[in-house]
Amino acid sequence: MSTELLNNGHCVCISFSDQVDNSSSDDVQSNQFLIVTDGHGALIGWGGNMPYNALMMSMGEYLYFKSIEYILASHQDPDIVASINK
């Protein structure tokens, strides 16, 4: 699920949450944030392996994932960086 936290026509900040079905997975739920300014993107918290596909699909509404210029990881836990190599 994506939620626009800010959209002023120049900058958009989106929160992505509920990317994992916890009833059938041991993966930890995490939240990712995408900031897009004039076609340039920064992703905060890439996320784990389970939410990867859902995140890519949701993020596509705002920015092509190869257009991400910055990835910010607050720490090395799997819910933050496990799928960064994808």
Q: What is the band of 11 on the pLDDT scale with cuts at 50, 70, 90?
A: very high
Global pTM? 0.78
For residues 33 and 85, which has the higher predicted lDDT (pLDDT)? 33
Q: What angle do CA 83, 71, 40 make, to 5 degrees?
A: 125
> Over 80: is that where the pLDDT of 68 sits?
yes
What are the residues facing 13 on neighbouring strands?
Answer: 6, 35
* Calpha distance 72→81 (Å, rounded): 9
